[in-house]
Chain A
Amino acid sequence: MVKSHALRLWLAQRITGALMAIYALMVGSVLYVQHPTEYGTWKALFSTGWMRAATLVFVLSLVWHAWLGMHDILIDYVKPALAHRILKNLVVLSLAVYAVWSMRILWSI
């Protein structure tokens, strides 16, 4: 495995970014081909197993990626320790909520 902690985070940001890029290309092509502009077709798309699995990977990648990215941004712009801690916790909390929320959307269709 990759030894350094910082390097692992760096790698994680690239891999999650690449996974999201693949998802975007995949879903973009499907939308382009299928034109799911009615409720029935739209719902059918998100009911397929592969779409749910892919969206799950996307959501998990996004949460991890956004956490790493927002962390970098906060380090650069928010220096006061207390404000930094509060914002960091807010980011983690909101991302956790978004992850659970996404799963509930995906599995309540």
Chain B
Amino acid sequence: MNQARNLNRKDKQRPKNLDLRTVRLPVPALVSILHRASGAVLFLLLPVLLLGLQCSLNSAEHFAHIKEVAAQPFVKLLLLGVVWAFSHHFFAGLRHIAMDFQWGMELTTARLTAKLVLALGLLVTLLIGTALW
């Protein structure tokens, strides 16, 4: 029996354990993990953001200086990361609250809104990114 099955399998694809096309994280799980990660990142970056705000409001010279600093590639990347973290956390948070009120709990809806959250977070980051630079 076993041998027969193996023979039948010969021309089929062998199963892979870590086939990245089939083994993947469900989108809602990804959105949820990124919600936690973005919340933590925002918390950790608060002092940097406050320092920037303080400096920018201090004087015209400081404001110009902050603008220069923000124009550096590494800082740009960091700011883009902040923008993404906030937008993703924003949309995922609103989705979370909606689901707390039992809205969008069906599996298909939940998957759709998860994809929407992921896409909107990236879209807003793209829009703000291009608007700023």
Contact = CB atoms under 8 A, between A and B. Distances in A.
Nearest to B63: A39
Given A14-B100, A24-B86, A39 B60 contact: yes
Interface of B is mostly: helix
A17 B43 CA distance: 14
B47 interface: yes
Contacts of B39: 66, 69, 73
B57 interface: yes
Contacts of A30: none
Interface residues of B, number: 22
A97 to B, nearest CB: 9
Given A14-B97, A14-B100, A18-B97, A39 B64 contact: yes
A72 to B, nearest CB: 8
Contact of A109 (B43, B57, B97): B57
A72 B83 CA distance: 23
A50 interface: no
B57 A105 contact: yes
Contacts of A98: 46-47, 50
A94 B48 CA distance: 13
A9 B64 CA distance: 42
Interface of A is mostly: helix
B93 A21 contact: yes
Interface in A77-109: 91, 94, 98, 101-102, 105, 109
A46 interface: yes
A39 B59 CA distance: 8
Contacts of B56: 42
A67 B1 CA distance: 61
Interface of B: 36, 39-40, 42-43, 46-47, 50, 53-54, 56-57, 59-60, 63-64, 86, 90, 93-94, 97, 100
8 contacts: A14-B100, A21-B94, A42-B63, A66-B46, A98-B50, A105-B53, A105-B54, A109-B57
